[in-house]
Amino acid sequence: MSAEILNGKILAQNLRMKMKEEINALKGEGIVPHLTVVLIGDDPASKSYVNGKKKASSEIGMESDVILLPESTSEKELLDLIDKLNHDEQVHGILVQLPLPEHIAEQKVIEAISPAKDVDGFHPVNIGRMMTGKNAFLSCTPLGIITMLKENNIEITGKHAVVIGRSNIVGKPVGQLLLNENATVTYCHSRTRDLKHFTKQADILVVAVGKPHAIGSEFVKEGAVVIDVGINRTPDGKLTGDVDFENVKEKASFITPVPRGVGPMTIAMLLKNTIQAAKQIKGSTWKNT
């Protein structure tokens, strides 16, 4: 048996086609979704991500702009800019590209963004609303994973989902979203004893550890769905995941590749959140729909 490949690139393209139609309809009402990305410094990986977001935005007719700031930008200058964007009615979504320089407090910046424009889904208000099952902007990578499972008709209800990784950006929120979809969820991390004991029970295995090929076939149950969130660069410059793809694909029922797996879905969900923000934003507070 060889796993069916979950191609996030093709799925994201199909979703963006639908978003394009949605944006055209909104334009008829005088609404043009607008995303503003703030990038500090000149980290090549961050620049690449930001350019990808801008390109995807323009392809579906969404307005987007990138504000480039020098590495020396002070925390106060960044917070003042965010405050200005919060009050700009033409801007529906605000994204500050992480990581930030060491002299700027990441959490302070995240909390400064209006929850109604927090299209990254990192603000504590949106995290809290997600935890309690209420309307919220959901973190883009976890939302992309859930969307990918649903679009491929992969059953979540009643399944045992094991998440390896407990970051605030992926591990914790994807576990909560799986729980919200009625999965039974186990979190594993760097201090989990006998990791294999847990992963071999997983019907759905989500791997987000940031170590190339950390998970081989010996960690995977026959027929499991394997979602690889890792993006690692090999010495020869190629991208690879946290999962040993070639070996695990012979044991799994579904598996995501790296690249062309979860990554494109993350950007698609950012666009989706921005469209949603354009539909419902009022002032600087969340508007229920």
Write down the catalytic residue from 118, 120, 228, 242: 120
46: Cβ contacts below 8 Å, ≥ 6 apart = 39, 97, 99
The Cβ of residue 270 has, within 10 Å, a number of other Cβ atoms equal to 25
166 labeled part of a ligand binding site: yes
Is 203 a known active-site residue? Answer: no
Domain edges within the chain = 26-114, 140-263
pLDDT score recorded for residue 281: 56
- DSSP annotation of 248 reads H
pLDDT of res. 52: 86
- Same CATH topology for 26-114 and 140-263: the answer is yes
Q: What is the pLDDT of residue 26?
A: 94
Digit-coded pLDDT (tens) for 228-242: 999 998 888 899 999
Please tell me whether 253 is known to bind a ligand.
no
| pLDDT tens digits, one per residue of 41-52 | 988 878 888 888
Which tens digit of pLDDT belongs to each residue from 48-81? 888 888 899 999 999 999 999 999 999 999 999 9
165 in a labelled binding site: yes
Q: What tens digit of pLDDT does each residue of 99-156 get?
A: 999 999 999 999 999 999 999 999 999 999 999 999 999 999 999 999 999 999 999 9
pLDDT score of 282: 41
- Residue at 267: amino acid letter: I
Give the rounded percent of residues in the chain with a pLDDT score beyond 70: 97
Separation of alpha carbons 98 and 107, rounded Å: 11
Q: Are 207 and 165 in contact (CB under 8 A)?
A: yes
What is the CATH topology of the domain spanning 140-263?
A: Rossmann fold (3.40.50)
The CATH number of the domain covering residues in 26-114: 3.40.50.10860
Burial (0-12, 13-18, 19+ Cβ within 10 Å), 238: exposed
Selected catalytic residue, list 9, 43, 47, 53:
53
Q: 176-209 pLDDT, tens per residue?
A: 999 999 999 999 999 999 999 999 999 999 999 9
133 a known binding residue? no
97 is catalytic: yes
Catalytic residue status for 53: yes
Contact 228, 259 (CB under 8 A): no
